[in-house]
Amino acid sequence: MTRQNVEVSEIANLPTAFGVFRARSFREVAKSGEKEHLAIFTNSLECAAPLVRVHSECLTGDALFSRKCDCGEQLATALKMIAKNGCGVIIYLRQEGRGIGLFNKINAYALQDQGLDTIEANHQLGFAADLRGYEIAEFILNFLGVRQIRLLTNNPQKLDSFKNVEIVQRVPLVVEPNDFNRDYLRVKKEKSGHLL
């Protein structure tokens, strides 16, 4: 990923229920199309290792408060933690449904309603368990001048995905399970190795 195929917006203020942040959008321009991502960050990133959450889009969880997953709660918890810490970044990546898109994610949900787990549903639809990538997240952090981070994650795949940004600490992102997402979280732990 180079500066040539990423367009960068101006910086805007973003007041939220969790605090006042700044926002900057990053547009990937590729032959396969465009994807727009968002960096939400504190006023200053001048600390030893900012708290960072790389969050993949989940319309159902983030905007519609679905209880089938833990995504919306993870995003809200990360925003609270970063606001309290005073130095950090949320990188919001547009890779819905572990990279299969909203249309296929809803089809996967329908298969889950019939008894398949989230990974089995993706496989039934002809997809790998997880198609997400994090190269753009590293580009965004480098663009923002961040070289060392404390990564808010339970996903070991993210720990191995950064080459030019040093992860000095993994910070667990703890949310309480509910009756609708308990099996989903079990599958994340048992089949995807999430550190829950």
How far from 74 is each of 2, 23, 58, 111, 137, CA to CA, in Å?
30, 19, 11, 24, 17
User: Per-residue pLDDT for 83 more than 90?
Assistant: yes
Q: Is it the case that residue 64 has pLDDT exceeding 80?
A: yes
Q: Which amino acid is at 98?
A: R
Q: Which pLDDT belongs to residue 193?
A: 64
118 found inside a domain:
no
Sorted by sequence, the CB contacts under 8 Å of residue 54 that are 6+ apart come out as 91, 93, 134, 137, 151, 153, 158
Per annotation, catalytic residue among 24, 53, 98, 132? 132
Q: Which domain holds residue 145?
A: 3-95+132-192
**pLDDT given at position 56:** 94
In a domain, 42, yes or no: yes
- Within-domain flag for 148: yes
**What pLDDT, on the 0 to 100 scale, is given for residue 85?**
93
Q: Is residue 24 part of a domain?
A: yes
Average pLDDT for 140-160: 91
- Other C-beta atoms closer than 10 Å to the C-beta of 6 total 17
For CA atoms 36, 42, 47, 52, give the dihedral sign.
negative
* Token pair 């939220």 in the structure block, residue: 16
Tell me the mean pLDDT in the region 155-163.
86
Q: Is the pLDDT of residue 114 over 70?
A: yes
Q: 12 lies in a domain?
A: yes
pLDDT, tens only, 174-195: 888 888 877 766 766 676 666 6
Contacts with 81 (C-beta within 8 Å, 6 or more apart), sequence order: 51, 88, 152, 171
pLDDT (average), residues 44-50: 92
Residue 102 lies in a domain: no
What average pLDDT is seen over the chain? Answer: 89
Question: Catalytic site residue 67?
Answer: no
Mean pLDDT score, 128-138: 89
* The pLDDT value given to residue 8: 95
> Is 98 tagged catalytic?
no
Percentage of the chain surpassing pLDDT 90?
61
Identify the pLDDT of residue 95: 92
- CA–CA distances in Å: residue 41 to residues 22, 24, 37: 5, 9, 13
How many other CB atoms are there within 10 angstroms of residue 83's CB atom?
Answer: 17
From 111, 100, 99, 129, select the one nearest 68 (Cα to Cα). 111
Query: From the candidates 62, 130, 160, 182, which is the catalytic residue?
Result: 130
d(CA 31, CA 80): 37
CATH (domain of 172): 3.40.50.10990
pLDDT value, residue 195: 66
Question: Does residue 44 lie in a domain region?
Answer: yes
Position 10 in a domain? yes
Q: In the chain, how many domains are there?
A: 1
Answer whether residue 1 shows pLDDT above 70.
Answer: no
Contact criterion met (CB below 8 Å) for 136 and 93: yes
Q: Which helix (H) or strand (E) holds 22?
A: strand 19-30
Mean pLDDT of 78-83: 96
Pairing between β-strand 12-16 and β-strand 19-30 as defined by DSSP bridges: antiparallel
With a cut of 60, say whether residue 145 has pLDDT above it.
yes
Say what the pLDDT of residue 52 is.
Answer: 97
**Cβ-proximal residues to 101 (8 Å cutoff; 6+ apart), any chain:** none
